Amino acid sequence: MNLIAAVDSNWAIGNKGQLLVRIPNDHRMFRQETLGRVVVYGRKTLETFPLSQPLDGRENIVLSTNRELEVRGARVVHSIGELLEVCSSYPPEDVYVIGGESVYRQLLPYCDTAHITKIDYAYEADAWFPNLDQDPDWEITADSDEQTYFNITYRFLKYERK
């Protein structure tokens, strides 16, 4: 499985239920990576999407402990075991974990690749991605040139499990 996230210089990913910043080129990369594939996320992440609807052009799987939750256009699973069973019917390289914080932390042990947009700025935040730079099991295997959006600089990094 893959992880995909935009993080700031402190590995923050969100504040008050929203992304820290919206960078069009990051959204294009996200769409290019995930279109036609499987995306896995939690209920809170679903609520940040337009009209709280699943993402078009992808198989959507929502991980939630709420057994009453039903989402039109998405499959809802209630445990990591159930999620892994569902995901076993897809090639692992086609499954992308897209948030939020608790889902990233729970699924990190099952992932081998992380596509990270690293933003060179520290935002006010209340949600973080695990710091892969401090995790000896992960290494950077691809690094883009520095990109700029207005006064924001960022890079696209690919981390792989050693």
**Number of separate domains in the chain:** 1
CB atoms within 10 A of CB 157: 18
What 3 state SS string does 96-150 have?
Answer: EEEECHHHHHHHHHHCCEEEEEEECCCCCCCEECCCHHHCCCEEEEEECCCEEEC
Domain extent at residue 103: 2-161
Residue 93: give its domain's CATH number: 3.40.430.10
Tokens of 128: 């973080």
Q: What is the per-residue pLDDT across 105-153, written as a single tens digit (0 to 9) for each? A: 999 999 999 999 999 999 999 999 999 999 999 999 999 999 999 999 9
Q: What is the pLDDT of residue 34?
A: 98
pLDDT band at 89 (very low <50, low <70, confident <90, very high): very high
Q: What percent of the chain has pLDDT over 90?
A: 100
pTM attached to this predicted model: 0.97
CA distances from 160 to 72, 74, 83 (A): 33, 28, 22
- Rounded CA separation 84/38 (Å): 12
- Rounded CA separation 123/111 (Å): 26
Reading phi first (left if > 0) and then psi (alpha if -120 to 50, else beta), residue 11 is in left
Q: What is the pLDDT of residue 142?
A: 98
